[in-house]
């Protein structure tokens, strides 16, 4: 074999040309091989190895269509990606990576299938290695109708508000944001609805509501239903013996918010704590809105409560009943033996009563009614017995002195007798006095009056004041010397002996604490005639002539008091007396005229009192 250096240059050039032709042929074959590898399934093998031979010859990617538009959320578009090599030949089997520049507007899968997710404009990118193309998609929504979100059972209670929801939608029933929807009601007096969908129930009934957006409308039927607005007791609060059923059923009426009775409302009755039982706990109201049940009170006396509620109403009703104690098993006591105080004032001591049963157990929560008699008043500190079974009050005595009474009724006044408490109302200070009896009597001078003079000491409210000291004085006559003190009735009796002078006499009574004295009067009558005498008789007269002045005689008693209405006789040995008899006047005086006889010398005239031995003689010298 010849050595290399021995080969001619022409032969070497020829060999080089041959080797280059072989390389070019091999490269073309490789390209052809890569181009046809998909046909013979080699890409699947490369893919299983994480390789794609086609990706290495890709030089361009083109999408079709380059731009598109949709009109509803959920619409889909399919893009076609054309992958070519540097010669513009299509390459199949290249790994195309699809992506959305804004997934909230549209999403794309690995096959180029696009689904719109929201309104907007989005770029869809197809990429092989560093080669990519972008197609632009406009996702818009075209109004296609109205969707109302109301089911068939939807209702609006009267006098309540509900918000109705409706939306403008595209062809695929997706909401179009920003598209305004307005509302109307077929009868605003039944259901009032504003343009934004706030519905207010007015009165029970049915209406049609309509939602509108541009030329599109949708309607739904709405019911306005009665709603429980309140509950009230029918009749009066009851009372009955503890542990027993009340005489009348418990009846309540359910009202709608519009003020009409609500039929078929579910009413629930629940006794609180241990306050008995009810015959039915759940009752439907009748056509008048009334529900009734019977209540058996609990065994303990006192206030008991029954709670009543209505389905659909926010408020509840508490019904009270008074469970009365049984008289044979109940007693009320107090510990006040002697109470006293000034009339019209509050007693210093608080009045306390206690309620127990026959076993001595305390009875709390029993109602107490206080009543002050005799014009007094009471300030209840407790209107029910407390946890110790006690109740308290302050007693203000009436304005009259003397014994007064306070009554406390614990429980039912028809079955439980009142507890009576007494107190002595003492009078106030003496402010005045009065004559009760014995004033303005008539009596004989020097004699005691037939009746004592009775005085009474009084306070400012006219109450008799016992124990008041009196001072008794008189200028006429006399009274016994002793201490004058008013008795329990505020009185004092004074025996009065009249003085010797006939006429008006006075007795003075002064009471300690009273400035002005009290005065009693009496008329002193003279005693019987005891004396008769001539008053200023003349010493002489002219014979046969009447005396120059009338003859006057006076009749008096033993004390010299004139005695009236006594008949006096005049007689003498000579002359004429006219009249011969006359009655004494109020001054005890009797007058007559005496015409003297014709014989001169001494003469006389006698005056005598009828029915007595009293007489007197007047002597005169006749000239």
The string of DSSP codes covering 18-85 is HHHHHHHHHHHHHHHHHHTTTTTTHHHHHHHTT--GGGGG--EEEEESSEEEESSTT-EEE-EEEEE-
Rounded Cα distance, 408 and 352, in Å: 10
- Residue 584, SS3 per DSSP: coil
pLDDT for position 516:
85
Q: 21 falls in which pLDDT band (50, 70, 90)?
A: very low
Q: 345 falls in which pLDDT band (50, 70, 90)?
A: very high
What angle is formed at CA 397 by the lines to CA 393 and CA 401, rounded to 5 degrees? 155
Rounded Cα distance, 135 and 125, in Å: 7
In the chain, the percentage of residues whose pLDDT exceeds 70 is 92
Q: What is the mean pLDDT of residues 179-206?
A: 94
Q: Residue 580: is its pLDDT beyond 80? A: yes
For the chain, what is the mean pLDDT? 89
Q: Residue 275: is its pLDDT beyond 50? A: yes
Output the CA torsion sign for 91, 97, 102, 104: positive
Rounded Cα distance, 4 and 279, in Å: 130
Q: Residue 29: is its pLDDT beyond 60? A: no
Go through the chain and tell me how many residues it has. Answer: 623
Phi, psi of 447 (to 5 degrees): -115, 155
Q: Alpha-carbon dihedral of residues 399, 405, 411, 414, nearest 10 degrees?
A: -100
Q: Residue 504: is its pLDDT beyond 90? A: yes
Q: Name the token pair of 340.
A: 């006293």
Phi, psi of 607 (to 5 degrees): -120, 130
Of 238, 313, 320, 226, nearest to 271 by C-alpha is 320
pLDDT for position 52:
62
pLDDT for position 474:
92
Name the CA radius of gyration of the chain, rounded: 68
pLDDT for position 283:
97
What pTM did the predictor assign? 0.55
Q: What is the mean pLDDT of residues 444-465?
A: 92
Rounded Cα distance, 336 and 345, in Å: 18
Q: Are 535 and 552 in contact (CB under 8 A)?
A: yes
pLDDT for position 31:
42
Rounded Cα distance, 97 and 369, in Å: 96
Of 496, 525, 500, 499, nearest to 508 by C-alpha is 496
What angle is formed at CA 438 by the lines to CA 436 and CA 444, rounded to 5 degrees? 170
Q: What is the mean pLDDT of residues 593-607?
A: 94
Q: Which residue has the higher pLDDT, 462 or 170?
A: 170
């Amino acid at each position: 074999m010849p050595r290399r250096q021995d080969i001619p240059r022409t032969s070497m050039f020829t060999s080089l040309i041959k080797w280059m032709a072989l390389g070019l042929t091999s490269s073309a074959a490789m390209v052809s091989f890569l181009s046809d590898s998909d046909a013979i399934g080699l890409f699947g093998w490369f893919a299983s190895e994480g390789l794609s031979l086609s990706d290495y010859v890709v030089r361009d990617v083109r999408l079709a269509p380059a731009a598109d538009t949709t009109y509803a959320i959920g619409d889909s578009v399919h893009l076609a990606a054309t992958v070519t090599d540097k010669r513009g030949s299509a390459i199949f089997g290249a790994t195309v990576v699809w992506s959305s520049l804004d997934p909230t507007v549209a999403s794309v899968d690995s096959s180029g299938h696009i689904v719109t997710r929201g309104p907007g404009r989005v770029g869809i990118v197809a990429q092989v290695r560093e080669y990519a193309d972008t197609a632009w998609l406009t996702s818009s929504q075209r109004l296609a109708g109205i969707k109302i979100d109301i089911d068939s059972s939807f209702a609006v209670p009267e006098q309540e508000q509900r918000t109705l929801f409706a939306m403008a939608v595209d062809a695929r029933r997706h909401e179009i944001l920003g598209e305004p929807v307005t509302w109307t009601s077929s009868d605003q007096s039944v259901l009032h609805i504003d343009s934004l969908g706030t519905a207010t129930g007015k009165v029970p009934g049915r209406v049609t509501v309509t939602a509108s957006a541009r030329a599109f409308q949708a309607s739904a039927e709405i019911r306005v239903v009665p709603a429980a607005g309140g509950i009230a007791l029918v009749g009066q609060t009851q009372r009955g013996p503890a542990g027993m059923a009340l005489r009348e059923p418990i009846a309540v009426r359910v009202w709608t918010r519009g003020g009409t009775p609500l039929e078929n409302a579910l009413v629930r009755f629940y006794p609180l704590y241990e306050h008995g039982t009810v015959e039915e706990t759940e009752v439907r109201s009748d056509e008048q809105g009334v529900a009734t049940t019977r209540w058996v009170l609990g065994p303990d006396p006192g206030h008991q409560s029954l709670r009543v509620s209505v389905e659909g109403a926010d408020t509840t009703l508490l019904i009270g009943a008074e469970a009365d104690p049984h008289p044979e098993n109940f007693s009320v006591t107090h510990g006040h033996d002697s109470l006293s105080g000034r009339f019209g004032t509050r007693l210093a001591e608080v009045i306390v009563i206690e309620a127990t049963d026959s076993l001595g157990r305390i009875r709390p929560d029993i109602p107490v009614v206080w009543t002050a008699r005799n014009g007094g008043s009471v300030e209840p500190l407790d209107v029910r017995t407390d946890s110790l079974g006690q109740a308290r009050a302050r007693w203000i005595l009436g304005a009259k002195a003397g014994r007064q009474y306070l009554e406390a009724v614990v429980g039912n006044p028809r079955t439980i007798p009142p507890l009576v408490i007494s107190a002595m109302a003492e009078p106030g200070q003496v402010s005045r006095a009065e004559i009760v009896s014995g004033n303005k009597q008539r009596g004989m001078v020097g004699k005691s009056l037939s009746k004592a003079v009775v005085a009474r000491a009084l306070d400012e409210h006219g109450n008799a004041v016992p124990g008041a000291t009196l001072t008794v004085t008189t200028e006429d006559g006399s009274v016994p010397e002793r201490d004058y003190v008013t008795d329990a009735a505020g009185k004092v009796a004074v025996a009065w002996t009249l003085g010797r002078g006939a006429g008006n006499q006075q007795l003075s009574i002064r009471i300690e604490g009273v400035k002005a004295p009290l005065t009693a009067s009496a008329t002193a009558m003279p005693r019987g005639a005891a004396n008769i005498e001539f008053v200023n008789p003349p010493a002489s007269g002219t014979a046969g002539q009447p005396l120059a002045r009338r003859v006057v005689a006076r009749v008096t008693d033993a004390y010299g008091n004139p005695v009236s209405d006594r008949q006096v006789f005049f007689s003498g040995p000579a002359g004429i007396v006219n009249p011969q008899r006359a009655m004494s006047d109020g001054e005890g005086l009797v007058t007559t005229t005496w015409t003297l006889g014709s014989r001169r010398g001494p003469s006389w005239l006698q005056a005598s009192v009828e029915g007595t031995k009293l007489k007197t003689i007047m002597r005169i010298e006749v000239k």
